[in-house]
Amino acid sequence: MILKEARTELHKIINEYADFEIIVRQRIADICAPHCAVCQRVCCRPEYCRENIDSPFLNLISAKSRPDRAFSDERGWLAPTGCALSAGRPPVCYQFNCNKIIDGLPTDQYRYLFKVLSNLVPYIGKRSLGTRHLVEIMDPAQLRKVSLKRFGRRLNEARDALHVIQSFKEPDFSKASSLAALSRVVPIPRILAE
């Protein structure tokens, strides 16, 4: 009975994670697509995409929202319109942002908010089992050792930070609750804290 409840809880959290990831992915795409669509140097690499296949956790996530094309050894999950994965992308896909995108943001506040946005999905899986990120757990049986309570808490913290990001037309760094939600994911740079 306890094992069945744990599986149900894991299933619920996987669905919530996938739904959250899709929202974050779209928000990032809104910012990056104008730059990426005209870029001559594609930063996506099949070796990065491979983590989606190798990681049992990412594999579970992407199984919830099946890609519309198959993985390719030459192009990974990259399709003519961008990444074919709507969920289950490796953390590096969110964390890497080229200088053209960063430099195109109008202020230090926006650059910070974009950095937080780019780290929301990876934040959820940090230190899930000892020092390992959730996507680094390669034995599917070890996924059962992950604290679902901790995973759920980090997912909620990431949601709080996303809410802060989405609620601002102009970033308001004077609200303590906003700062706390954002700084859990990425420490506030000194230039913004002053």
Average per-residue pLDDT for the chain: 87
Q: Which two tokens stand for residue 160?
A: 């709080």
Among 32-36, 148-152, 155-159, whose mean pLDDT is lowest? Answer: 32-36
Which domain range does residue 144 map to? Answer: 2-40+88-193
Number of domains in the chain: 1
75-81 contact pairs (CB < 8 A, 24+): 75/46, 76/44, 76/45, 76/46, 76/47, 76/48, 76/49, 76/50, 77/44, 77/49, 77/52, 78/42, 78/44, 78/46, 78/49
Asked whether residue 14 is domain-assigned, the answer is yes
More confident site: 107 or 158:
158
- Which phi and psi (to 5°) does residue 129 adopt? -140, 100
Q: 72 lies in a domain?
A: no
In a domain, 69, yes or no: no
Residue 62 pLDDT more than 90? no
